[in-house]
Amino acid sequence: MRIQKYISQCGICSRREAERKIEEGLVFVNGVPAEIGQDIDPETDKVVVDGTRARGIVEEKVVLAMNKPKGYLCSNSDPFEAQTVFDILPEPFSEMKLFCCGRLDKNSKGLLILTNDGDLANKITHPSNNIIKRYHVQLNRELDKKVIPVLLRGVMHEGEKLKAEKIIPDTSATENANKRVEVWLNQGRKREIRRMFEAMGYYVKELKRVQIGGYVMKRIPQGAIKILGKKDISRLLERGETYE
């Protein structure tokens, strides 16, 4: 079994996060630094992640949708003891080894998926699966429409190409509508929306994720969770342009 798949099935983190940990030298197999794609035998090999041995395959799969509030990190632990989304999970989920499937930064809010299903997390987050994520964004000033095609082609920022799949200006007659846009992504680079607008001279004041795949966050109070069943999980995996 590939090591990153084993780590995700143990409920430690997603495959992509496991790859990052391997690259950073945080994963060892029988005392030797691991390599991405390395085959391991779960029965005989000792796999250690972040100083803790990975044990067993998770049998009970849990998938939660949270309406994440601002001010919380999408991290299982923080060396500076900042509050994380796991601090506000109710029992019994607070005792489980769950991880975030596609993170939101500390100052962002909205739909967040928490799970111990590494295969599901990989399907949702890998760009090749074209799972669209929708965000409501408020900028510090009116958006110049000429910026839209530039962001659709992609901009370089800190050595990464940041690209939106779709940008929809708010055409309502409400206050500050000219500063609000809806952004669609099918990838999830770190602070991608904030960075792409910063590259064009804008500042993101508010950012809220409202949809992943065909699953739209509805009637989940801020800071609360919803246990997702098979139908909801299937909606998460719907590809392409999915509307409410």
Is 105 a known active-site residue? yes
- One-letter identity of residue 85: V
| CA angle centred on 21, ends 211 and 129, rounded to 5° | 35
For residue 28, the surrounding DSSP H or E stretch is strand 27-29
Q: Which residue in the list 39, 78, 105, 119 is annotated as catalytic?
A: 105
- The whole-angstrom separation of Cα 192 and Cα 102 is 12
Contact 45, 91 (CB under 8 A): no
Q: Name the pairing type of β-strands 32-33 and 52-53.
A: unpaired
Spatial neighbors of 92 by CB under 8 A, at least 6 apart, are none
Which of 86, 188, 175, 90 lies closest to 138, judged by CA? 175
Query: In a 3-state reduction of DSSP, which class is residue 213?
Result: coil
Which of 115, 108, 114 lies closest to 185, judged by CA? 108
Spatial neighbors of 193 by CB under 8 A, at least 6 apart, are 135, 137, 164, 183, 185, 204, 207
User: Which residues have a catalytic role annotated?
Assistant: 105
